[in-house]
Structure 1
């Protein structure tokens, strides 16, 4: 912690430089510039960075500490959701906080990870140990370009001991995250002027019939319960929103020839997202057939859930490190959203979210991160990497989401 706090100004300055990069996603701007800043910062910290240039402006920044075969991954993303005001891209430091777009989700967390990796090296990694850092550019739009590339290019070693991502958990350990499923349903009709409405096919009225069965489906999913711990005030069921976006038609006096609505769900780790996609598609198709409607279903997101049990040695060790740094018992909870932990979970790596930002301020107009939290989280990452890589993991169990 002393090593980290001696670099408090450096950390705050790097957060501010990253915030100034307008990496709003969508549309995915500013990614090469931000990748270059990360590369330079990692180089100064001795983290052996490289930039992977992907199609378009997509970038992945990789780095490493150590040369061994026993690996722990630090993973993060440097894209942010669109700002409510351009002023959010000027970081404001004061009162122990840094305020600005991305400070919580998760440019502040990236800084904690980078300085945590450097602190781990300074305190002595074992010769057979290695920290590998992955920073991707498209988490806010599904991660298929960045994390998906890492997975499919074989750059995620399934033998790794654990993965950490400094998402905005508020120093709670997210040992599980929900899966995600998003669809856009377009109902087709035939346009006609109101004076000849009998010649048209009203896609809006058909849409009401097509969407109707999904109300009962959403209620059923919300009644299901997860075995993972949830934050107080959070729902233990899977959440589904029907019609988060909807629209269609060309004018008030024209029979609408095309109408659409969206379906978006966050599913508990016990659920099979692919099976739920099949079920939703069947409900829509059967309702359309009964209504005599023509529909098109576009799947815009499919993301698996992730989960590591509390008794897994990687989870137990992480909890111990959090307690040692913070002086308080570690809290484990299910993240109400979707995390990049899934890309590591899928190949059997125990994966966790643990970061300094707060979930409730992320994406909002007053997003901030506490500087003291940046330092504590960096210390947890350093301690965890060293403890993990010194740990006898000869019988380390592979992860398996229930």
Structure 2
């Protein structure tokens, strides 16, 4: 470790128990999304902690249509005007398998509980990293702006979308990093997403008069076939970005993740529907792929004279910053400085909120203490020491990008 790493470590390590206590209190806030409850209490806790750490803090009310309970963007600042670096995170979590997951437990150097990895643990590291950078004078002639949003787990349109819609993301920022559970890797790219609901309208008839009905289940099965072939085709088109060796490299399409329809077992179904959910590699043109899927559906429906409606329920572009971008090289150098080993760049197999910044031309990365393979599960956890190491990386990254 370098002299400045030692300086940051000397600031963070005596605060290790504070960090654990803060994460304990965050985990205890049941911010499950869906349905999106308990958000206001958690937002106020985050604002309070920011102020305690010497950061400027405010709650930004989210306006517009939504079904969330008291959603706020928690916005914090460390440093003065000048160069700008964004730290970004989300404080909602996926639903628990057991209510006991809202009581954090400490075992063998690990902290277990909902959100410890994804990503309340990341939030703790970001806030303490920003506080260390400010108190140690590492922000130079710039500032860190922290955005914590309430709805990443359900698409992020309400929270991060609000930031984008209201001009709260400055395109001149030097970089953005989100504390998603990347393990020891840096995620410099993420897939985009298209989700569809395909619905059919037919005519009901009793089984004894089935010939008079129009069977939407039959139409659904027919239309799904070319989409299943399309899913196989996309899976065979690998990305050029580096990925975890165990992860599939093609674009992923799931046909029929949810489906339904009909009124009874002995009645021709007059309605039916199924979903299509996809994660497209950054190389793909999502507008073109959406048109391809819609054309496949229309053409197959026409073959059987099916009445079909396609609803686009999600359209989120991918994100990608080259690994050799100066902002990426700086982050990798900080990771190596703290961990003592070269950093690895990988593409995240899912979607990340870095896309909202990437769309504005801001170099955007995911780097956090948690691990993706335990996130969302019954044994979700984060390593205590990784919280401190990651906070140190954030502090040093501020020093290098804001100098």
Looking at structure 2, the residues matched to 54 and 314 of structure 1 have their Cα atoms a distance apart, in angstroms, of 31
Corresponding residue SS for 1:7? helix
In the TM superposition, what is the alpha-carbon distance from 1:197 to its structure 2 partner?
Answer: 1.1
Task: Answer whether contact 2:187 2:346 (CA < 8 A) is retained.
Answer: yes
Over residues 310-365 of structure 1, what are the superposed CA-to-partner deviations in whole Å (9 max), with x where a residue is unaligned?
11100111111000000011010000000000000000000000001110111111
Q: Which residue of 1 aligns with 2:380?
A: 367
Q: Which residue of 1 aligns with 2:24?
A: 16
TM-score, with normalisation over the residues of structure 2?
0.95
Q: Which residue of 2 aligns with 1:300?
A: 313
Q: Which residue of 1 aligns with 2:51?
A: 43
Determine which of 370, 378, 381 is the counterpart of 1:357. 370
Give the CA RMSD over aligned residues.
1.0
Question: Given the alignment of the two structures, is residue 238 of structure 1 paired with residue 248 of structure 2, yes or no?
Answer: no
Determine which of 3, 7, 10 is the counterpart of 1:2. 10
Over residues 30-83 of structure 1, what are the superposed CA-to-partner deviations in whole Å (9 max), with x where a residue is unaligned?
010000100111010011110011136221000100112210000000001111
In the TM superposition, what is the alpha-carbon distance from 1:127 to its structure 2 partner?
Answer: 4.5
Looking at structure 1, the residues matched to 142 and 23 of structure 2 have their Cα atoms a distance apart, in angstroms, of 28
Looking at structure 2, the residues matched to 4 and 302 of structure 1 have their Cα atoms a distance apart, in angstroms, of 40
Matches within 5 A, 1:1-400: 1-55=9-63, 57-390=70-403
Corresponding residue SS for 2:253? strand
Looking at structure 2, the residues matched to 276 and 8 of structure 1 have their Cα atoms a distance apart, in angstroms, of 48
Corresponding residue SS for 1:338? coil
Looking at structure 2, the residues matched to 206 and 375 of structure 1 have their Cα atoms a distance apart, in angstroms, of 56
Looking at structure 1, the residues matched to 302 and 71 of structure 2 have their Cα atoms a distance apart, in angstroms, of 42
Task: Answer whether contact 1:68 1:129 (CA < 8 A) is retained.
Answer: yes
Task: Answer whether contact 1:173 1:330 (CA < 8 A) is retained.
Answer: yes
Q: Which residue of 1 aligns with 2:5?
A: none
In the TM superposition, what is the alpha-carbon distance from 1:193 to its structure 2 partner?
Answer: 1.3
TM-score, with normalisation over the residues of structure 1?
0.95
Task: Answer whether contact 1:171 1:377 (CA < 8 A) is retained.
Answer: no
Looking at structure 2, the residues matched to 80 and 90 of structure 1 have their Cα atoms a distance apart, in angstroms, of 14
Looking at structure 2, the residues matched to 193 and 251 of structure 1 have their Cα atoms a distance apart, in angstroms, of 9
Corresponding residue SS for 2:217? helix
For structure 1, the 5+ residue unaligned runs are 391-402
In the TM superposition, what is the alpha-carbon distance from 1:27 to its structure 2 partner?
Answer: 0.8
Looking at structure 1, the residues matched to 189 and 387 of structure 2 have their Cα atoms a distance apart, in angstroms, of 22
For structure 2, the 5+ residue unaligned runs are 1-8
Looking at structure 1, the residues matched to 369 and 140 of structure 2 have their Cα atoms a distance apart, in angstroms, of 29
Task: Answer whether contact 2:58 2:76 (CA < 8 A) is retained.
Answer: yes
In the TM superposition, what is the alpha-carbon distance from 1:94 to its structure 2 partner?
Answer: 2.2
Corresponding residue SS for 1:52? strand
How many equivalent residue pairs? 390
